[in-house]
Each structure stands twice: as structure tokens, then as C-alpha cells.
Amino acid sequence: MLQGVAAGFGAALGGGLAPGLAHAAPRVGSAPKRVIFFLQNQGFDPATAIPAGMKNSGSLAKAKLPEPIEALEPYKERMQIINGLHGTHTSPSHSPFFGALGGYRGGDGVAPSASTIDYELSKVLPETLLPHLCVGMDSIENMKAKPTVANLSASGAGQPIFMHSNPNHLYEMLYGGISEGDIRKQHEARSGMFDRIELLARSKGNGLPESDKQRYGQYVQGFNDINVLRDRLGSVSAHLRKFAPEVDDGYANPEYETDWHDRILDLGISALKSGITSVLTIGSGRGEIFGAWKGLGVEQQGHNLGHMKQPNNPIWVKIRQYNSRMLVKLMEELDSVPEGSGTMMDNTLIVYTSNNADYQHTSGKNWPVILLGNYDGAFKTGCFTQLDGKRPINALYASILRASGVECDRFNMSEQLAAKFDSGTGPLKEILT
């Protein structure tokens, strides 16, 4: 019972159950940076991202973006399209699940073998109330039946981080303490329940065998972290009121799953703008082979979508355009908030790719990525970068860590593994300024 409840409501706070509340202090003298990972399932065909005729690295200034991402045309000068990374060592096929952000071998039902890049960044970026927030988008049936799942992010070996898929639950967790009506009642009832369970659990765990005490202690700590987060959010309630999205009928009575997708995105944006979190992971399809977009007029869903060619496919054009509009909204919202001599977006990096490399049943030979924002001047923008296919996605993650002030030559890759799958060491010099 403890495991189920803590996973459903608490594990989304961080790794293990929720140890994310205590992490490294922010670096002194640095801009308050933030990173967003947006992963679309079923693959990211390079033809849907690379302008026609571009074979070599070059400027995007005179290029015309493909129809699926044309919404990003006004933002070309803040974009870098990267082609030629690989993830063959992750054995992606349908998806490597945790391996997509971990840069290691993964699969359906396989526990994470190490932490993922989003969690590692949450430890080194300036401290926030909720260091890492993971949200997932899927069919309305799946989001209701499984409001939290763990498929993309991890805080360590065997320690998955859960993602929120029900916007009602996420809203109550973030803003229940400043809400009114039913949301406030649910928040208070759940908070009281967690308090009582934590006290009861602590008093009843002493009689367990030694082999079970450690695991049980993790579950108990999960409830403690939930309660701590609730108190910390309550202490800044006046600040949070400025950023809490308006609760409309789309929360309780969605017509399509995209109604919930839009509200989940709004909650993620509000968490960034309010400073609740500095790392946001968005899983469209939740790192699996599912996903639905009936609100876009797409009747096909789930696994079948992956068996369709993406280039010039009206279904995938709709899905990719929808993603692009979400990316534009993220940029516009962060641009609306002054920060330092610029805006929040000036200190933000958005990583848009797929948890499934270039297509379903892929070998991972090519893993296209779009970067948006220059991360306080760290990354090149306004360009297309063609790599030689010999550096893994791990090198991209090492580059982001380097740009975040962390000395990192390799991310989750041993020398033995690198000898087979990585032709170089250190960050990707081609993508950095």
C-alpha cells in the first residue's frame, strides 16, 4: 500500500521515491539556467526536420523549414538542427525507455541502470522547490487509468522517476494549497492522509526483518518528502498565485486527450516561470509506443502510428505541427519573463527529439535532435549541424552538462563501451560556441 500510494503521488517529486528535495547548491555567479526535454515517441524522421537540399552543416538563414516544423520558422535564428548522432548501444527498437535520456541499453520492463541526464541536471542547476518535473501525454484512457508512469527518467540504478499524466492531480499537487472549492478540499484531505500515514508508517516499521527495513524506509521517506514539498509550496503561496493557470472545464471534462495535453503543458510552463522547477521533461507518448491525438483529427493511435512513414504523411504532419506549436508556446512564455539583461528563454535550452531515434523498430543509427535557445550563449543557433554518425547521444548530454558548469568528458559511458561506440571524448565541439 505504501509503495502504491507513494509512487502515485510522491515519486514524481524525484528519484527513488522523492529524494530530489535535497541536492547540490547552485553554482555561484551563474545565470539561473533551465533545461526542457521534449520527447515524441515513434521516432523523429530527419526528413521532417532538415530543410530540403541541406546535406552539410550550414546556416538556416535562407533555408525553408519542412512543413511539419514550419511553426518554428520565425525562430530559426534561435534553433540548431543536429543530425548524425547515434544511439545504437541503447538498443532502441520500439524504445529504449530510460535509455533514451540515460544513454544506455534499455527496453520494455527493464529497470534503469543509471540516472538520466534530466535528473543529473536537476542536481547542478540552481536549487528549486521541485528540482525536476516529468509530465507525460497519452490517450485519455491511459492518462486516466495510469495517471503516473515511470518510463523515461531515473535518479539512479533501479530508481525510476514517475511522470504526471493527469493534469488534475498535478494541479492539486502544485497549487492545491492556494486553490478554492473542490481542489482545496482534495488537497487538504490528501495532505492530512499523508501526515497520518507517515506517522503510522514510522511507528510500524521497526518490526520488519532487516532485509525489508531499508526498502520500507524509502517508502516512508517518500511520504515525508511529499509533506515537506507541500509545506514549502505553502510558504510561497503568495508568489505561486501569480502563476497558477486558470482551472477551466478542460481539466475535469476533456473532450479529447489533446485538451489534457494542452493543460499539462500549461502546468509545466507555470512551474518553470514560477521557479518551482528548473528541469522539465515532457514525454509525448510517455516513452512507450502509445499516444493519441484525436483532437487533431487523427483517428489512428498507439503502435500503428509507428508503422507509417513520417515524411509527407498528413497524420504525422499534424502531430509534428502540434508539437512545434507547443515548442513555440514554451519559447514565447519564457520570453515574456524578464531575467537579467534578457529573458528566461535566453538562459533556457529546449531539447526536442524522440525516445525512439529516427523511426519505430530503429537500430538507433541516427538520432536527430533540435535545440532551441542558446543556454546563455553556450550553444550555436541559426544553423544545421551534420555529424558523422560516430558520436553517441551521450556526447550531447555531456555537452549540456559542460554548458551547465560540470566537468564531464563522458556521460554514462565506460571507456570499454566508448571504445566501441564513441569516436571521441568530451563535448560536441561542433554544436557549442
The model's pLDDT over 206-254, given as tens digits with 9 standing for 90+, comes to 665 666 666 566 556 555 666 667 777 777 777 888 899 999 999 999 9
AA identity, residue 49: A
- The band of 19, judged by pLDDT with boundaries at 50, 70 and 90, is very low
d(CA 269, CA 139): 21
pLDDT of residue 80: 98
d(CA 70, CA 15): 37
Distance set, CA 252 to CA 138, 148, 165, 188 (Å) = 16, 17, 13, 19
Domain boundaries, the chain: 2-175+256-421
Is the distance from CB of 386 to CB of 429 less than 8 angstroms?
no
Listed range (99-103, 183-187, 256-260, 305-309) with the worst mean pLDDT: 183-187
Q: Is the pLDDT of residue 153 over 80?
A: yes
pLDDT of residue 199: 61
Q: Is the pLDDT of residue 18 over 50?
A: no
d(CA 98, CA 107): 8
Q: Is the pLDDT of residue 192 over 90?
A: no
Q: Is the pLDDT of residue 25 over 60?
A: no
Q: What does the pLDDT average to over 141-147?
A: 93
Q: Give helix 257-273 / helix 167-175 axis angle, nearest 10°.
A: 20
Instruction: Kindly report the backbone phi and psi dihedral angles of residue 90, in degrees, each rounded to the nearest multiple of 5, phi listed first.
Output: -90, -5
Listed residue (405, 353, 355, 396) closest to 376, CA to CA: 405
| % the chain with pLDDT above 70 | 81
Per the listing, cell 493511435 goes with 301
Q: Is the pLDDT of residue 433 over 50?
A: yes
Listed residue (75, 64, 79) closest to 380, CA to CA: 79
Listed residue (280, 285, 290) closest to 329, CA to CA: 280
For residue 416, with 0-12 CB atoms within 10 Å meaning exposed, 13-18 middle and 19 or more buried, which class applies?
exposed
Q: What angle do CA 273, 401, 427 make, to 5 degrees?
A: 135
Query: Dihedral of CA 168/174/175/176: which sign?
Result: positive
Rg for the chain (alpha carbons), in Å? 21
Pick the CATH number of 2-175+256-421 from 1.10.10, 3.40.720, 2.40.50, 3.40.50: 3.40.720
For residue 109, with 0-12 CB atoms within 10 Å meaning exposed, 13-18 middle and 19 or more buried, which class applies?
exposed
- The band of 1, judged by pLDDT with boundaries at 50, 70 and 90, is very low
Looking at the whole model, is its pTM more than 0.85?
A: yes
pLDDT of residue 131: 85
pLDDT of residue 174: 86
pLDDT of residue 94: 86
Is the distance from CB of 35 to CB of 118 less than 8 angstroms?
yes
pLDDT of residue 195: 58
**DSSP symbol at 301:** -
| % the chain with pLDDT above 90 | 67
d(CA 291, CA 90): 22
pLDDT of residue 234: 72
